[in-house]
Amino acid sequence: CGYMLVIPLSCALNRLPTPEPRVWVHTLFFIVRSQLWIQTFDLDYDAQAGRRTSAVLLGLKRTQAALAALLLAEAAFVHAYFRDWALRSFSLASFGLLMLQVSCGDRTKKPSPAEIKTTFIVLGLGGYGLLVQVWLNGAFNPDETLSA
């Protein structure tokens, strides 16, 4: 998980202390959910190329079920360990978006290009907004914890 190196690298470059474990856990949730969700978009291509991704091995329905469980676990974690309304909203909205994608699409086929584009737009804009919100209000600062 090379993405996890973003935290120590940014801390080193900005001469910041290492964040609390809850920040690392949130980052891990974010990385795994993003990876799993994106794999559902490439499922057919990855299978044809002989790649053994999680989505290829699980199949679309089970991957979406695993993603739903992961998003719910993330939302529960964020609600337990962060006060920030934007972090909480993003986690719950992501679950809602997946439920829309599953209920509006054909669950036997990979998502359509329009569904993929919509998902990227919604999560992308939400992610950029979340980035600014977290940066401005310091949601990952030690004094913002609920349960630690």
- Could you give the CA distance from residue 129 to residue 127 in angstroms, rounded to a whole number? 5
pLDDT band at 148 (very low <50, low <70, confident <90, very high): very low
Mean pLDDT of 86-98: 93
Neighbours of 45 (CB within 10 A): 11
Find the distance separating the first CA and the last CA of the chain, reported in whole Å: 25
Residue 119 has pLDDT above 80, yes or no: yes
Residue 107 has pLDDT above 80, yes or no: no
Please count the residues of the chain: 148
Of 101, 96, 85, 91, residue with least CA distance to 34: 91
Instruction: Give the predicted TM-score (pTM) of the model.
Output: 0.86
